[in-house]
Amino acid sequence: EVRLVVSGGGSVQAGGSLRISCTASEFTFGKDMGWYRQAPGNECELVSSIGSDDTYYADSVKGRFTISQDNAKNTVYLQMNSLKPEDTAVYYCAAAATFATVFPGCPPPTFFGYWGQGTQVTVSS
């Protein structure tokens, strides 16, 4: 079973930057990598994903967040710049063939892929 280990996160003031990382225990063949987040009272939303030839960003993070991957390290990164208080959430890493843009909650009870632990990102105003 593939394990996804998340690192990074923390607290930052508005306008600041953070980078979170997700390392897979083995190559996730045929699966894209993505980041979800959930803030209290909100749904679990897809923030960004990356595949062999495309990337996705939620409208709320376009131009501020950048997803990248290092296949040699089985690691995907999410660089978060110009952070806003509304970016405050628990961020989760996932690997799957496809990603739904929203779930009622993170992690979803049924997910056809792999799901990592969450990391808290807090942005203060």
pLDDT tens, residue by residue, 41-51: 999 999 999 99
What pLDDT does 26 receive? Answer: 87
Residues of the chain with confidence (pLDDT) below 50: none
Contact by Cβ (8 Å): 6, 20: yes
Q: With the C-alpha atoms ordered 53, 45, 28, 8, is the resulting torsion angle positive or negative?
A: positive
* Chain segment 52-69, per-residue pLDDT in tens: 889 999 999 999 999 999
What pLDDT does 123 receive? Answer: 98
